[in-house]
Amino acid sequence: MEFFIDLISTVFPYIKAAFLAIIPLGFLIFIHELGHFYAAKRCGIKVSTFSIGFGPKLIGFQRDETTYKISLLPFGGYVQMEGENPSEQTGAPGEFASASVGSRAFVVAAGPFVNLLFGILVYWLVFATGLNTDAARLIGGLTGLPLGEQESVQIGWVAEDGPGAIGGLMPGDILLSVNGESIRHWYTFQTRVYTSANKELELVVERDGVPQTVYVRPNAVPSVRGDIGELQVSSSTATMVSQIRAGSPAAEAGLQVGDVIERINGERLHNVPYFGYGVWHPSADWIDEKYESLYNNINENDEALRLSVRRGDEIFTLEMPVEWRVIAAVQEEGIAENAGIQDGDVLLTLNGETVNETTLYSQLIAANQPIEIELMRQGSLEQVTLSGETESSETDPKHIMFGLIWQTSLSGLQLDAKEPPLPEYGIFAAFEKGVEATWLTFTAIGRTLQQLIGGDVSPKHLAGPVGIATATSNMFNRLGLSSVIFFIGFISINLAIVNLLPIPIADGGQLLFCAVEKLRGKPMPRKAQEIVQQVTIVLMIAFFLYVTWFDGLSVIDNLRN
């Protein structure tokens, strides 16, 4: 019985997430079909069925020639018009095929138009009600639209032996374009690299005010979706003092919250210093080596930490002693939390030995159990005991020992990325911004389609319904409501564009048939329409299964990790 209770408690969050994700997608399909329904009624075309959802009917009623019903699966809906399929056409009045070319084109275009209109309204709503940091990042990542005072896309740290450095990229370079495409947001560049494993990219950068061209070839990193590109470069971020411990060396030196740290001991900062758990973990990567190097630089003279500080328009230098404190953070329901360790505790000793932030991970692995940890909490000394950890840490490099991670505080400072101020829009400016974001969504999707056709991007990287549902679910769990709403608007515009592609079974294909009929003066032969649609259905099903397969692999991989 306990096994089934644990199974249900484990699976239920995923079922809940799936419903939260699928229902918005179903709503977008529903309003798409509602557009077709309204247009058909306006044009005198008989609609035999209008269904909310799919599958067996739950409830319904008949009015005139239309059956209105709610079906079992509430994920979208459909409209069935008389004479819509070539095999069902009789030439009777009120059939879809019997309507004029203009009326049929209006009915076909109404679905994508509603999705496009809904997307614009959603974008308008998000900009009008105010942005948070997560929403601003999401909007920039999906559309390439820079928000706030972000003026450039700048390279931060560069791995010394990575493909970025080999190609000639340097810290501080400002990205202007990739393969002739203007770059306005870091995530646009990141996506281009991601989909360009082992493919040469032409980058135009600005260095010391002079444009230069460099050629880079991203490394191929295996993933469940095939190889993905990696340049081993980071985005430059300004480092801001977000918190100062009372009585710390930083407080006594006169630092203030909001100060921007530009250099440490003369070394230019391109990314926020981090000296926590991940830097000393066995799975540490190239950027962690940069943090280690900065850590060693600081320890070369632990009596005089020299900071170059910008406060408003003023730039000055402060000096202070180096003081390290290991600050604990615990995983929920982990061994460390159950033993009594709390977020913010200062770790002092481990089995009587002074805690060393650089070797704490190996200390935990090698320590005899039970492990006695002395810590300080709000000025009081506490003792906790850890035990029960398995040996999985020796075989899994990503394993977190005892559910315990840590951050190392430098001289009482807490440093974070300085975020640009978020803009505020009035009702009309928000609409203008929404239209701009819609246009950028169109152009971004257009570039992706062009790259797919040209073979620059593999269809393995596309997301189908499963991938979209997973992304929506993640946003419900991790990001704010405005981010989720914007993403739904983004998917709505995607649906509009995809449905307008000249694919026979899509709305765009039907519009193409209407255009051909207008030019020929008569419709395409019914048999030809049937053959084209049948072939297209087979190809679309195969493509759907192909994309869904890789979506499923990604979901399984995420669950494992």
Active site residues: 33
CA dihedral 183, 188, 190, 195 (to 10 degrees): -110
Identify which of 176, 160, 171 has the alpha carbon closest to the alpha carbon of residue 210: 176
What are 88's two structure tokens?
């069902």
- Which of the 8 DSSP states describes residue 410? E
What are 245's two structure tokens?
């411990």
List all residues 6 or more positions away from 221 whose beta carbon is below 8 Å from its beta carbon. Answer: 197, 227, 228, 229, 230
Residue whose entry in the numeric block shows the structure tokens 């900071």: 307
CA-to-CA distance for 323 and 339, rounded, in angstroms? Answer: 27
Contact 220, 211 (CB under 8 A): no
List all residues 6 or more positions away from 292 whose beta carbon is below 8 Å from its beta carbon. Answer: 279, 284
Q: Is 22 helix (H, G, I), strand (E, B) or coil?
A: helix
Residue whose entry in the numeric block shows the structure tokens 């630089």: 297
Q: What is the DSSP annotation of 297-345?
A: HHHTTTT-EEEEEEETTEEEEEEE---EEEEEEE-TTSHHHHHT--TTP
Q: What is the DSSP annotation of 190-204?
A: HHHHHT-TT--EEEE
What are 234's two structure tokens?
């980071």
CA-to-CA distance for 521 and 365, rounded, in angstroms? Answer: 80
C-alpha 252, offset from chain centre: 41
CA-to-CA distance for 558 and 561, rounded, in angstroms? Answer: 5
318: left (phi over 0), alpha (psi -120 to 50) or beta: beta
CA-to-CA distance for 198 and 227, rounded, in angstroms? Answer: 9
Contact 325, 348 (CB under 8 A): no
